[in-house]
Amino acid sequence: MHLLTPSSPHFHGPDTVTKVMMRVVYALIPAFIAYTLLFGPGVIINVLLTCITALSCEALMLKMRGRPVATFLSDGSALVTALLIAIALPPLAPWWIPVIGTAFGIIFAKHIFGGLGYNPFNPAMVSYVMLLISFPLEMTAWPAPLELREELLTLGQTLGLVFSGTLPHAMQMDAITMATPLDSLKTQLGLGQGVSEAVAAHPIYGMLGGVGWEWINVALLAGGLWLIFKNVISWHVPVAMLATLGGLALVFNIIDPERYASPLFHIFTGGAILGAFFIATDPVSGATTLKGRLIFGAGVGLITYIIRTWGGYPDAVAYAVLLMNMTAPTIDYYTRPRVFGHEKA
């Protein structure tokens, strides 16, 4: 009898990388449904473009690097990156925005560093930041939520806008776009208005954050909580990030409610929830020790609040995550847990 003699353990649990990644994909589905319902079919076009680009670039890079293409293509990591880019892009952006962004993320942020498991920065955020810096016009042309829009686009008209940049006859871009809540608030505050004035003057503000946006964030929150429940992510990063962001907002809001927005507004607008549950929890580029994750999350929350409030950009989750990515190895080194039977780490 030919017997194999590998070393123990001989059995393995049911988890695989593919299962982990697919759970993240499932957790994003409610948010995409909400996004599409509230902002129109442009969202679906973005998803298709980023997914196709991500999988093609992944396959190409794997082939060039001599890695088993099928094994890695089916691990689901490229899909997760694609979806995270898609959810961060304006739904009516020209087709080359998602394509260039995703290609850059997969090729330069992921495979140049060695592919799955080796990227020091979150690929989706690298590609988002690259796009924001390189194509600020296209990246800030956010469509208004459908309920606030004066005119609606059909699927055919949406496709025409995305792929050839043409709007239906007599329709202006201004008629379908609108500043995001964070952007609008920043502008109004910059003009010397108070928070309550700004909110009263603009129809974009909703109950929690912005009209439409708040429901996407609720869907993301639900997906994120499910990920914690399924043990895909731990509670440490989301709790630390949202608590820091909300806590800072609360302190400043109490000091001067007219100059600083409420904690609820900060949490339910922009990328805070997406960042807390789906971006900052990326295991590859984040801290791994439990204490480290708390510090990492708090850092993201802090930087986000600072840039949102005093910086030049309306939102800052992507920058905050990338900056904290750089600190992850150091955080891990200094937050080693106390080993069983030892006095201290």
Partner 1 sequence: MIRQLFKFKGGIHPPMHKKESTHIPIQQADLPNTLTLPLHQHIGESAEPLVGVGDRVLKGQKIAKANGYVSAPVHAPSSGTVVAIEERPIPHPSGLDDLCIILETDGQEEWAEKNPLPDYKTLDASKLRNAIRSAGIVGLGGAGFPTAIKLNPTAGKPVDTLIVNGVECEPYISCDDMLMRERADQILAGAKIMCHALQAKTCVIAIEDNKPEAIEAMRAAATGCDIEIVPVPTRYPQGGEKQLIQVITGKECPSDDLPIQIGVVVHNIGTAAAVHRAIELGEPLISRVVTVTGDGIAQRQNYEVLLGTSVNTLLDQSGGTTNNVERIIMGGPMMGFALRFENVPIVKTSNCILVTTKENIDPPSHVMPCIRCGACADACPVSLLPQQLYWFSKAKEFERAQDHNLFDCIECGCCAYVCPSNIPLVHYYRYSKTEIWSQERDKEKAEQAKMRHDNRQARLDREKAEKAARAAKKRAALKAAEEKKKAEAAKQAEAGETSSADTSTTKQDEIQAAIARAKAKKAQSKAAPKNTVELTEAQKKQISEAKERRKKIDELANAGTTDTDKAP
- In this chain, which stretch among 6-14, 36-44, 204-212, 239-247 interacts with partner 1, using CB under 8 A? 6-14
Q: Which residue in the set 48, 114, 165, 334 belongs to the binding site for partner 1 (CB under 8 A)?
A: 114
Q: Which residue in the set 29, 33, 118, 251 belongs to the binding site for partner 1 (CB under 8 A)?
A: 118
Report how far residue 343's alpha carbon sits from residue 345's, in angstroms, rounded to the nearest whole number.
7
Q: Indicate the residue type of 272.
A: A
339 binds partner 1, rule: CB under 8 A: yes
Closest to partner 1 by CB, 70 or 137? 70
Nearest distance in Å: CB 80, partner 1: 11
- In this chain, which stretch among 72-80, 153-161, 238-246, 253-261 interacts with partner 1, using CB under 8 A? 72-80
Nearest distance in Å: CB 2, partner 1: 9
The count of residues interacting with partner 1 (CB under 8 A) is 47
- In this chain, which stretch among 50-58, 114-122, 167-175, 198-206 interacts with partner 1, using CB under 8 A? 114-122
Report how far residue 227's alpha carbon sits from residue 23's, in angstroms, rounded to the nearest whole number.
7
Report how far residue 22's alpha carbon sits from residue 28's, in angstroms, rounded to the nearest whole number.
10
84 binds partner 1, rule: CB under 8 A: no
Nearest distance in Å: CB 127, partner 1: 19
Q: Which residue in the set 48, 65, 163, 200 belongs to the binding site for partner 1 (CB under 8 A)?
A: 65
How is residue 288 written in tokens? 């791994």
Closest to partner 1 by CB, 114 or 168? 114
- In this chain, which stretch among 66-74, 193-201, 217-225, 318-326 interacts with partner 1, using CB under 8 A? 66-74
Q: Which residue in the set 36, 177, 234, 327 belongs to the binding site for partner 1 (CB under 8 A)?
A: 234
Nearest distance in Å: CB 342, partner 1: 5
Q: Which residue in the set 85, 116, 124, 161 belongs to the binding site for partner 1 (CB under 8 A)?
A: 116
Q: Among 281, 165, 174, which residue's Cα sits nearest to residue 223?
A: 281
Q: What angle do CA 114, 271, 142 make, to 5 degrees?
A: 105
Q: Cβ of 334: how many Cβ atoms within 10 Å?
A: 11
Q: DSSP for 188-247?
A: HHHTT--HHHHHHH-TTB-SSSBTTHHHHHHHHHHHHHHHHHTTSS-SHHHHHHHHHHHH
344 binds partner 1, rule: CB under 8 A: no
Residue with tokens 């007599």: 170
Closest to partner 1 by CB, 4 or 170? 4
- From residue 305, alpha-carbon distances to 87, 199, 232, 333 in Å are 21, 19, 27, 26
341 binds partner 1, rule: CB under 8 A: yes
Half-sphere CA count of 107, side-chain side, radius 13 A: 14
**Site mask for partner 1 (CB under 8 A), range 194-233, x = bound:** ----------------------------------------
Report how far residue 252's alpha carbon sits from residue 96's, in angstroms, rounded to the nearest whole number.
40
- Within 8 A by CB and 6+ apart from 73, the residues are 55, 58, 59, 62
Binding-site ranges for partner 1 (CB under 8 A): 1, 3-20, 65, 67-68, 71-72, 75, 77, 113-118, 234, 283-284, 286, 288-290, 332, 336-342
